[in-house]
């Protein structure tokens, strides 16, 4: 799956969306002018010059270019302000969207088995997609099976699931749904969805104004201007309601047209991430056989319907449906599907041990019944064992999930458990920066002691040997596992956390490249959770404009991971197609120069960033392998450049 290509398609869809939006606003201006003319016509018995006129001739006298311009300017300004306000409101991060839907943050410390299983699945899909673990929210009052991803960039992304999804989907089915949402993050759909919501709110706002005018008619008086006894203000309000209704239809059509094809792509990506074609397919089959379906009852659900995994409202007409029909999605994943949905009724899943005890008791009773009933007893036993196996998927305990993650990522279970606690995550990240040199080690321990965080020094000292033994190959996944717990701390705690990290790095009076990578990854994915950040802006249209910076980053990467520095540099330079690009001496490839170069490259135009990252991957892999150090460098660069690179890593 070429995610960079689909990110470009998302940007093209944004341009199409803006074009349709402009046409829709122009149509609103025309209709509103006609309504104002009708309002004036019915509100007065004379024309603009005092003459009594009727019919179309009289109606047309109330049109004027001056009024058309004023109304057009007023509507455009109003819509622009509404869009701007809504964009600012939604662009603060996925957390705002999730909380506006009634979502509650799932903390790593939760003891609910279904919630722990969901967190574990999100961990799995994040690592499979080569991106940090996002925050997870649950919509506790929603019994429908649904989910969504929200945010502007992967750094501020969140994944939200309904309670119905985590209660009624098996592990592989939940993996498919979560993998689907990760596709929206990597394909650039989240930014498109937020823009879509902001623009469409601007279109429908006219109807909201009309509704208020319609409700404010009050009691008629003798001085009301009217023609034939028709109150003028409610007529205008009713007309604006009609405009808002038409705008809503246009908005729904635009939203549906852009959204449907992205859903097919996300379904295919879910198979790639989960490596299980039956997971997402079975989840869709369960939805088809589940009475609540994918319905969501939140007040904001209709407005944000296009960001969900499935339809949140029943659509009577396909052109206005935000998602493709369920059977079409299933058949694209399973061409041999027999058309039968999976029936799964709402229920509480019992502990497997109790089910096994019941089966054992059934065996004891079967031993004393007549021989004619033996076959039936055996069949009942097999059925109960199958049910117990199915229930085990829903009732495994937290320890099992942590053990699964530990085995999959080759990380000790103790570290996985500590990564789910804020203090443990802080200690693990600190241990990644601790150095074995005795003198430096003592200074770093003193930094932790001076931080004033109770227990941090002792826990870091305890975890350091296990973290050091893992070495470079597991640093990146270990950092990613720690991010959700660190997002749960307060803003003052986060500022202290960042200050401590910088002091640990500066304890030896120099900054190593892996320390820079770790700090950038942590800062980039945690800053949006606590402070307002300024994202990079496109400034450079051509790679030749940042030639010196390209020279620095390629030289540093070639020097860091390849025995043949010249060959590695040449492999990356060929992809960039910049003539006479040569490697710099090692002395000029300092961490400070590398950091400055990456910050400049973050301002490249979007389509140039994946090309640069591909060149970096080619340089790193010139010797036939991508080392952990090289992976860290590319991952840190991708983070700073706001450009996810799942395919490259």
- Rounded to whole angstroms, the Cα distance separating 493 from 530 reads 10
Per-residue tokens: 329: 């999605």
Geometric angle at alpha carbon 181, from 180 and 185, rounded to 5°: 120
The alpha-helical segments, DSSP class H, found in 396-512 are 398-409, 413-419, 422-433, 438-450, 456-470, 475-486, 491-505
- Rounded to whole angstroms, the Cα distance separating 549 from 641 reads 13
Active-site residue, selected from the candidate residues 181, 421, 529, 629: 181
| Cα→Cα distances 10→13, 16, 249, 413, 608, Å | 5, 10, 22, 40, 16
- Rounded to whole angstroms, the Cα distance separating 2 from 20 reads 27
> Which residue is associated with the tokens 């502007």?
152
Is-catalytic flag, 384?
Answer: no
The candidate with the shortest Cα–Cα distance to 61, out of 71, 73, 49, is 49
- Rounded to whole angstroms, the Cα distance separating 611 from 100 reads 37
DSSP label at residue 225: -
| Residue 139 bridge partners (DSSP) | 162
- Rounded to whole angstroms, the Cα distance separating 259 from 17 reads 11
- Rounded to whole angstroms, the Cα distance separating 14 from 19 reads 9
Geometric angle at alpha carbon 103, from 99 and 107, rounded to 5°: 105
Half-sphere exposure of 112 toward its Cβ, with a 13 Å CA cutoff? 13
Torsion from C-alpha of 46, 50, 52, 55, nearest 10 degrees: -60
Residue 607 near residue 540, CB atoms below 8 Å = no
Residue 19 near residue 200, CB atoms below 8 Å = no
How many other β-carbons are positioned within 10 Å of the β-carbon of residue 507?
Answer: 21
Cα 71 → chain centroid: 38
The count of residues in the chain is 649
Geometric angle at alpha carbon 269, from 267 and 273, rounded to 5°: 120
The candidate with the shortest Cα–Cα distance to 583, out of 601, 567, 606, is 567
H/E stretch holding 240: helix 232-274
> Which residue is associated with the tokens 């749904």?
177
- Rounded to whole angstroms, the Cα distance separating 381 from 175 reads 30
Residue 601 near residue 612, CB atoms below 8 Å = yes
- Would you name the residues annotated as active-site residues? 181
């Amino acid at each position: 799956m070429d995610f960079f290509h689909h990110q470009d398609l998302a940007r093209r869809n944004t341009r199409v969306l803006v074009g349709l939006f402009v046409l829709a606003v122009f149509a609103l201006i025309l209709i509103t002018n006609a309504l104002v003319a009708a309002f004036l016509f019915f509100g007065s018995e004379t024309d603009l010059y005092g003459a009594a006129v009727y019919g179309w001739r009289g109606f047309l006298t109330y049109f004027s270019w001056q009024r058309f311009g004023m109304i057009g300017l007023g509507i455009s300004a109003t819509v622009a302000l509404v869009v701007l306000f809504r964009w600012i409101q939604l662009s603060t991060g996925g957390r705002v969207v999730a909380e506006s839907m009634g979502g509650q943050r799932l903390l790593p410390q939760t003891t609910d088995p279904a919630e722990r299983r969901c967190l574990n699945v999100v961990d799995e899909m994040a690592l499979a997609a080569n991106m940090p673990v996002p925050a997870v929210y649950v919509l506790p009052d929603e019994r429908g099976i649904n989910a969504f991803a929200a945010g502007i960039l992967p750094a501020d992304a969140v994944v939200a699931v309904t309670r119905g999804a985590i209660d009624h989907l098996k592990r592989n089915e939940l993996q498919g749904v979560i993998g689907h949402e990760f596709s929206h993050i990597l394909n650039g759909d989240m930014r498109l969805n937020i823009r879509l919501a902001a623009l469409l709110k601007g279109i429908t706002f006219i109807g909201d104004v009309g509704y208020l005018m319609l409700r404010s008619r009050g009691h008629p008086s003798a001085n009301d201007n009217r023609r034939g006894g028709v109150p003028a203000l409610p007529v205008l309000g009713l007309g604006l309601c009609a405009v808002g209704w038409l705008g809503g239809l246009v908005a729904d059509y635009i939203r549906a047209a852009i959204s449907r094809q992205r859903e097919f792509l996300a379904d295919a990506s879910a198979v790639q991430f989960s490596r299980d074609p039956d997971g997402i397919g079975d989840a869709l089959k369960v939805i088809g056989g589940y009475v609540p379906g994918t319905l969501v009852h939140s007040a904001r659900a209709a407005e944000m319907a296009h960001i969900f995994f499935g339809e949140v409202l029943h659509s009577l007409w396909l052109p206005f449906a935000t998602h493709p029909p369920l059977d079409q999605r299933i058949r694209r994943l399973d061409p041999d599907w027999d058309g039968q949905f999976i029936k799964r009724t709402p229920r509480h899943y019992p502990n497997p041990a109790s089910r096994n005890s019941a089966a054992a008791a059934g065996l004891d009773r079967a031993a004393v019944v007549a021989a004619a009933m033996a076959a039936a007893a055996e069949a009942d036993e097999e059925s109960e064992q199958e049910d117990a196996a199915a229930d085990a998927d829903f009732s495994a305990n937290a320890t099992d999930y942590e053990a699964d993650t530990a085995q999959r990522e080759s990380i000790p279970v103790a570290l996985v458990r500590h990564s789910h606690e804020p203090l443990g995550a802080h200690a693990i990240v600190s241990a990644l920066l601790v150095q074995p040199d005795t003198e430096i080690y003592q200074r770093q321990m003193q930094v932790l002691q001076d931080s004033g965080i109770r227990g941090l020094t002792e826990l870091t000292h305890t975890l350091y040997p296990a973290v050091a033994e893992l070495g470079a190959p597991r640093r990146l996944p270990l950092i990613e596992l720690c991010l959700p717990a660190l997002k749960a701390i307060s803003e003052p705690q986060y500022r202290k956390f960042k200050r401590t990290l910088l002091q640990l790095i500066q304890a030896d009076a120099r900054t190593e490249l892996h320390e820079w990578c770790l700090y950038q990854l942590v800062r980039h994915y945690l800053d949006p959770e606590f402070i307002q950040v300024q994202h990079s802006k496109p400034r450079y249209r051509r790679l030749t404009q940042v030639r010196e910076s390209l020279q620095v980053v390629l030289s540093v990467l070639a020097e860091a991971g390849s025995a043949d520095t010249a060959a590695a540099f040449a492999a990356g330079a060929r992809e960039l197609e910049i003539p006479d690009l040569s490697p710099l001496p090692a002395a000029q490839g300092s961490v400070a120069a590398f950091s400055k170069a990456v910050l400049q490259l973050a301002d490249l135009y979007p389509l140039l960033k994946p090309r640069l990252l591909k060149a970096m991957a080619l340089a790193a892999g010139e010797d036939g392998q991508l080392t952990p150090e090289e992976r860290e460098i590319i991952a840190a660069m991708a983070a700073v450049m706001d450009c996810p690179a799942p395919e490259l890593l």
